[in-house]
Structure 1
Amino acid sequence: PKPYKELTDVCWGDPHSLGVKPLTFVRQVLAACVYPELMSSHKLPLDVRQRAQWLLGKCEGGSIGSYPASAGIPEIIQRMSKSIARRDGGVPCNPENVFISPGSQWSLTNIIHVLVNDEAPLRTGILIPVPCHVTTITSITSLGAAVVPYFLSEEHGWALQVEELQRALESAKGGCNPIALYVINPGNPAGYVQSRKSIQEVIRFASEKRLVLLADEVYQDCVYGKNSEFVSYKKVLAEMGPPFSDTVELASFHSVSKGFMGECGLRGGYVELVNLDPNVVNYISNLNYDTTSVLAQFALDLMMNPPRPGDPSYPLYNQVRNANMLVQNVKMAHEVVNSLPGLSCQPVEGGAFVFPRVFLPPRAIQKAKEEGMQPDTFYCMRLLEETGVLITPGCEYRQKEGTYHIRFCIMASQDTINKALKHLATFHTKFMKDFS
């Protein structure tokens, strides 16, 4: 028998599975769309009924069961583009450059697919941050492209440094032809948030080296660092003016799965393209974008156009929106991790994860090798076997040679986080003692 009664799984960014409650407004609107009879009931707030009515009015026959337009429901895309323009302080957003998809990863994979040249003598290269979430690495390699890693600076709060981009580009010479630079802001698994200055430097670098910028901005609504603020790559690009604003090619990704909504099961996301050749945009528009369900498109509309002050649903929505559950989770995780000898965590400014470094004793590293495991995998396996807490080892996200990390999700209920941290603290103390 196992020494624990239940599994505490905090390894994935799946908030609802970790005890986070779905947003009332979102679920009420979706429920009314699925079962329109609910709209005749006054149990639902007026703005919920009005939104459901508006959304159903954009479906053939007023039903979510009818086929949507292949590129997405046009009125929803129009509203999304207005919302993107609002986010960016009025920078225009052309709805013809916004493409709905079944999640940001789907969009990213398809954009990379368009960029990869199978017939060139050298493989196409994509610069990616280290650490980087594993699904992107898998997508790049499965499409026949080469991963060109650039290391984020852990000592400087996981900062993205242009000198390191330069080094990575040099290292690729002769091995592949780098054509794109992938950035994650806010970070995953490392929870940094890029400053405006940092984004400007990256844009200048991409411009000089003629790289397409792939900006993964799915955690844009999850920023909690006191001096941190999310600014989109598109907004900074527009502020920089010509020649940058009209030449640097950019694809920006967002999703209903990540961040504040956490509706992972609905599979909805979008990509906005900036400065791409019209022929390329046209080609992308003909890709199989009709795979996004109607409910996922509705969820995108609700994410981009939430209740506003004065709406009946606004007080509750705003209360949840500003609840400091995440801030408290971050604070608690940071304090517990940094209080344990042999664990060290940089400040978490945004995103959904904590990515502490583990300073493993030589005996633990030796034991892991004997068992044919990476040292941080060995640590995570022992944690699972002894406490039932499931986290992921840093080696899955790539890391600097000789360093070890663990990753766990903080977008969880406080009970779940409390339990995971309590078990981690007890286990870690014993583990370090056993292998010292």
Structure 2
Amino acid sequence: MTLEETAKTNLTRLINRSLVQVEWSDSTGRARSCRVHLIHVVLISKLEELNLIQSSQTSSIGTARYLWIDNNRAHDLSRRNGDFRTHSIIFSNLQELHDPVFERLSLNFKLLREIDFENAPVEYLPEEIGNLWYLRYLSLRHSKIKMLPKSIGKLHNLLTLDLKGSFVVEIPYEIRYMCKLQYFVAYIVDLFNHYTIDSDQGVKINGRVIGSLESLKKLCYLDFPSQNGEHFGRELRRSKRLRNLGITKLKSNCGEALCGAIKQMPNLYALNISAVKENEVLELESMSPPPSLHRLRLHGQLMMLPGWIAELENLVKISLHWSSISNDSLKILGDLPKLLEFWLYEGYNGVELHLEQGKFKNLKHLALRRLYKLEKVVIDGGSLPCLETLEIGPSPLMKEAPTGIGSFECLKNLGFYNLPKKFAKKILQVTAWITGN
């Protein structure tokens, strides 16, 4: 098994033994947030007793396998001498981080394998970071860093580089020397443009760099260059081990180059593709994704679904934004046997949306969001028998409650957003009838 699969297996075992508690999971059954509850204090105490973990809140200045620096106690590193047993340092709840910290890390903790700067006020990385040759995990998630130093290329053993939520927009050429890199995440979610195609902003990277990172398993998100798109696609083909791929700013004339690259990725599990703008057509008809694909998100004009989507028998989740599909496309999606979650966002231009009998047999979550031309939703009896969550709106022209909504036996969550008052009155009548009130 891969490292990720091993981690998931161990986490599942801990959950089944009630040592870890799931706070919430999505409609596909994935645990998205977990916590250790009643035995947390006992675990920390035992780990400190065994000198496996040490918090900066403790009075001792010894060393441990894992150091946890919090409450602005990063200066404590200056009082610690290097120790070969220290493999991991985690920073949390820091308001400021002084420059000498990096110097201490490179001088006193040369055998570090993991550094977690998530949410830390890091604005830049010094060249000294390249001296940590044994580093395997580096997280700068939600930090303030804007660029990476060229010395990052010295981290030949790095497996994970997490830049999600940082301000990095371009990756240095030297990253091509990190030939063992498996998980590379670098994008920011722009909440100010939440309802536009620019909400997920990827990074720029040289095509030759991608061609050198043949060990990659996760790559999210990259801007697909409009110039030299064919060359970029040829380099991307060398990433044959990819399981998760995210592409942004794709132009129509580059669609075929991307499709050619994806054909060489037999293990692809999740695929996210965003066009350069909302009305840009995604030319993806020539794609031949692996049948094992579980998650698919397409942002851009489709007009009609590519034929290969009907062959995705293992697809669990699909999200279509600005796709402008027809009701015939819904019939194709409704026949996918394992589909559990379906998001349709500004992606339907019809007046009436019809969900026919026998379709979406296992679907649990249906979101029909921002369908401005929609006036009516018709749901035949026997359709959506497993539906647990239904979201509709804004749809200002919709004045009637979806027909057949009262037949949902598994429905738990019902959400309507910015709909006309006439609709609100009718849906209250329907829900009162469903609940017996």
Q: TM-score range by the shorter chain?
A: under 0.3
Q: Which of the two has greater strand per residue? A: 2
| TM-score of the pair, normalised by structure 2 | 0.24
Q: Which of the two has greater helix per residue? A: 1
Q: Which has the larger radius of gyration?
A: 2
Asked which structure has the greater RCO (Cα within 8 Å, sep 6+), the reply is 1
